[in-house]
């Protein structure tokens, strides 16, 4: 499957596929007649990359995670640490946003009850 076919069939942006190739993660990808050919293993890796992007990993984090995942030695502790750090950051963001919503709700309450302050 070519890069364009993979992009269309699996709805993966071309930029992500091109980055995947630049990272050197295409171990089984073969160049046939000038076009990359993706196999099932590559598509599984791309699925993981898309999952990482969906949960908020930046490109550099995704690249580091994938390289750890693909090393011959077991790096599950390091991968787990990266996932836990991302989870903690997401929870911090959720708590911050909850505080923002509470403040917004309070301001709305003040306006609705006629208690708005004049500046």
Q: How far is CA 112 from the centre of its chain?
A: 40
What would the CATH number be for the domain defined by 1-58? 1.10.1660.10
Domains of the chain, by residue range, sit at 1-58, 71-119
Contact in structure between 62 and 52 (CB atoms under 8 Å): yes
pTM score = 0.72
Cα–Cα distance, 17 to 23 (Å, whole number): 10
pLDDT in tens, the chain (119 residues): 778 888 888 888 888 788 777 777 665 556 666 666 777 888 888 889 889 989 999 989 998 999 898 888 889 999 999 999 999 999 999 999 999 999 999 999 999 998 656 55
φ, ψ (nearest 5 deg) of residue 103: -65, -45
R_g over Cα of the chain: 22
- Which element (helix H / strand E) includes 31? strand 30-32
């Amino acid at each position: 499957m070519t890069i364009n076919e993979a992009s269309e069939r699996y709805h993966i942006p071309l930029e992500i596929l091109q980055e995947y190739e630049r990272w050197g993660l295409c171990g089984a990808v073969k160049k046939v007649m000038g076009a990359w050919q993706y196999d099932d293993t590559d598509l599984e890796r791309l699925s993981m990359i898309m999952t990482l992007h969906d949960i908020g990993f930046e490109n550099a984090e995704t690249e580091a995670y994938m390289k750890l995942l693909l090393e011959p030695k077991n790096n599950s502790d390091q991968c787990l640490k990266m996932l836990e750090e991302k989870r903690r950051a997401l929870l911090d963001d959720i708590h911050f946003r909850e505080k923002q919503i509470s403040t917004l709700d309070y301001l709305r309450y003040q306006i609705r009850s006629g208690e708005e302050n004049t500046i």
